Chain A
Amino acid sequence: MAEAVLRVFRGDSENGETKDYKVPVEEGMVVLDALLYIQANYDGDLAVRWNCKAAKCGSCSTEINGIPKLSCKTRMDSLPRDEPITVYPIKAFPVIKDLVTDVKWNYQKQKEIPPFTPPEDEEMIMYQDDVERSQEFRKCIECFLCQNVCHILRDNNAKESFFGPRYLIKIAELDMHPLDTVDRSELLRNEAGVGFCNITKCCTEVCPENIRITDNAIIPLKERVVDKYFDPINWILSKLKED
């Protein structure tokens, strides 16, 4: 049977080194299979997060050969076999152990976004065309790969001033919901820091759900903020037109 070598990060927030493991490769195998093989056969304490093993829950984000990916969706046969396959934890968040990182910060940001608020007592009539924009963002499986690659969080660790792409699309989703009544532009401009994004589109590139984060969410949000703060009359008019 074919074999591959995985070079896996083992360690915690302070210390760590890589360790090589030889793993048999079956047809259709994904990197997560290889990691679970290591657990069952070599090191039972290898820390890995996973749940669905079908690219639906967003638990298994790692950096495979330097590229942020879902390990359950990365086929072994898509990776060159002549060199060890490197597997590292995602970089933008502190390591707990091995491939598992502390992503709690994301959950705090989510809490800071005012929830969906429909008009009172209104029947929820909505048309497919009108819900589709928000539905695109609701495909998000919260894998945090976009948060991981965004240079504002990854390289500059500006977690105090920027919510990151995941939560910008969350705000966009609520904003574009046909029946939402809350104005979140103040939050967008200040705490969420939409102005920091310089549209590099790295987030869109890694999104396993193919959400067009930059084009469909961030750019419209930026326009909204600009319109509102530089041309309030225009903003009110556009709001009226929507209703």
Chain B
Amino acid sequence: MDKYETHEHDVIVIGAGGAGLRAAIEASAQGATVGLVCKSLLGKAHTVMAEGGIAAAMANVAPEDNWETHFKDTMYGGKMLNNWRMAEIHAKESPDRIRELERWGALFDRTKEGKINQRAFGGHTWKRLCHVGDRTGLELIRTLQDKGIHSGIDVYMECIITDLLKDGDKVVGAFGYWRDTGKFVLFKAKAIILATGGIGKIYQVTSNSWEYTGDGHALAYRAGAELIDMEFIQFHPTGMVWPPSVIGILVTEAVRGEGGILTNSKGERFMEKYDPERMELSTRDVVSRAIYTEVKEGRGTPHGGAYLDISHIGAEYIMKKLPSMYHQFMEFADIDITKGPMEVGPTTHYVMGGVRVNAETGESTVGGLFAAGEVSGGMHGANRLGGNSLSDLLVFGRRAGLGAAEYANQIDSNTLNINNQQIAEHEKEMLAPFSNSNGKNPYTVHQKLQVIMQNYFGVFRIEDKLKQGLKELEALINDSKVLSIEGSRIFNPGWNLSIDLNSLFIVSEAAARCALQREESRGAHSRVDYPESDNKKWNTVNSVISQDGDSMKLVFSPLPEMPDELKSLFSEDQ
């Protein structure tokens, strides 16, 4: 067995995006000793890429706004499949989380009265998104990073967690390796918070980076936790479609929030057909299907998308409110968006599904294991509203930090027994690709996986293809048991990918199984063979994935029942 170093903390947070940083800050404020582990350098997590804004009913621009409306918008956006309690907490607490960020140094764009400015976004009744031009995520992560490094947290950068260790039914540690040396490392902990983000890299066309391999989902699954709603994967309607190098890169919804107009190759403003009321500011699931349909029916742009035009609002305003979009198109596509339209199409963006958690504390179904941010499930139901992720990170990051610190308080560190047998086996598996001869190349396997997911589990789904996809997926997983790589353990992306494939396979299979079983269309899950929402059977259940020996189990469990006073908010609308 390879030697490994050991670190011990009350709480280990895996992931240093908005959710992980906010959780670490909170756990540390509660007096816990905290270690924060991330795959990349600090400040480079996905959160840095968020553009359009962060949703909170601050009522700075629209005085009519309040938490009830935000709650309802979120539930409607999620097609009522959301965990109502998470949506309620989120709507109530996000304004405080934003004010707190400001006290930690964030500088949002201002209203004339000197308050935080807010902009319109799809599915939000009022102007609700606090923002900094189109680089809101950078503001958020940098603020949390500054706060975090002065909070006595130990940061372990470029360190990848590959296994959770359990003692009986509770977690006691996380095992992984350093990217720079390839050496193994063990983090002993009383509580572990997963904040690892999403799974976009299972698809070919995605706005997500190499980090989004679903590690947290897979770690939780392998540790015995439940995953819910894995069929709900958000295809953002506006990714770049040309040139090839940038296919999938996000075009922020703020372009539509600021007045951008979608047209097809015939010059028709096609959203009139799909959602005449909300038009371009309809929810993402609707706009994605609309663009997809326009292209499929022969009204697409030369590169297979739709036109999105913002030039009418004037160059000066664009440079102020959407500067990075301007540069993105100028530098990558030679297009001046102050003069003419962009070409856009759907891109895999966000996973609504994730670790099933307790709404109050973020605790999963495994003792001591918590989750927050994109890796957790329930908050967004069948479809997430833009801007609701960044606020989710802060609200539930904080709550998971609190929950984990409290839990850790009750655990005696002498009871953390590490299973060395498990570590030895895991190490052997991880190192196998160095000595295998004639194994598969991990890059090729990954590409094949992406083709399968893209072809069979995309914007529109249908039984035959889902079955075919699942068959091909199973075959690929079977054929890829033996991998080969070259080079040493030092900063070796090929080796890293060979390990990531474990996670990629688990989340792909979960998404595939759930998509096949849900025989209706709801939010981001659109079945051509079941085009309607089935409000008798399917609106009352979550899909629940768990590990059953060597195979994956899928069951359906009833949604938590919403209390009457919240229900009455909806009856007022009818």
Interface residue B296 (Cβ < 8 Å from any Cβ of A): no
**Measured between C-beta atoms, what is the minimum distance from A11 to chain B in Å?**
11
Cross-interface CB contact of A57 among B49, B149, B334, B487, cutoff 8 Å: B49
B491 & A54 in contact (Cβ 8 Å cutoff)? no
Residues of B within 8 A of A4 (CB): none
CA distance A72 to B328 in the complex (A): 11
Q: List A66-113 residues whose CB lies under 8 Å from chain B.
A: 73, 75, 96-98, 100, 102-104, 107, 110-111
Closest to B242 in A: A28
A139 pairs with B332, CB closer than 8 A = no
Name the contact of B103 in the complex, choosing from A27, A50, A118, A128 (C-beta under 8 A).
A118
Known: A56-B324, A135-B132, A141-B138. A128 touches B110 (CB 8 A): yes
| CB contact under 8 A between A47 and B103, given known A40-B443, A57-B44 | no
One digit per residue, 1 when the CB lies within 8 angstroms of any chain A CB and 0 when it does not, for chain B 243-255 equals 1111001100000
B114: A residues at CB distance < 8 A: 125-127
Point out the residues of chain A lying under 8 angstroms from B488, CB to CB: 45
Q: Give the Cβ gap from A49 to chain B, nearest Cβ, in Å.
A: 8
Residues of A close to B447: CB separation below 8 A: 40
Interface size band for B: 35 or more
Nearest residue, chain A, Cβ from B443? A40
Q: Which residues of B contact A127 (CB under 8 A)?
A: 110, 114
A127 CA to B108 CA, complexed, in Å: 10
Residues of A within 8 A of B104 (CB): 115-116
Q: Could you say which of B43, B149, B150, B244 contacts A28, with CB atoms under 8 Å apart? A: B244
- Does A191 count as interface, using CB distance less than 8 angstroms? no
A64 to chain B, nearest CB (A): 15
Of residues A33, A50, A56, A100, which shows the largest number of chain B Cβ atoms within 10 Å of its Cβ? A56
- CB closest residue in chain B, given A73: B331
Query: Closest CB-CB distance, B247 to chain A, in whole Å?
Result: 10
Q: How far is the CA of A22 from the CA of B74 in the complex (A)?
A: 50
Q: Please measure, in the bound complex, the distance between the C-alpha atom of A44 and the C-alpha atom of B113, giving whole angstroms.
A: 55
B139-147, B368-376, B456-464, B560-568 - the one binding chain A: B139-147
Determine whether B495 belongs to the interface, using a CB cutoff of 8 Å to chain A: yes
Interface contact A131-B242, CB-CB below 8 Å: no
Whether A102 and B249, one on each chain, are in contact in the complex, defined by CB atoms closer than 8 angstroms, is no
B residues less than 8 Å from A124 (CB atoms) = 99, 102-103
Bound form: Cα–Cα A201–B40 in Å: 30
Chain B residues contacting A12 (CB-CB under 8 Å) are 490
Within the complex, the shortest CB–CB distance from A122 to chain B, in Å, comes to 9
List 14 additional A-B contacts (Cβ < 8 Å) besides A40-B447, A53-B249, A97-B180: A44-B486, A44-B493, A45-B486, A49-B41, A50-B210, A52-B209, A54-B250, A75-B332, A96-B490, A97-B491, A115-B105, A124-B99, A134-B107, A177-B105
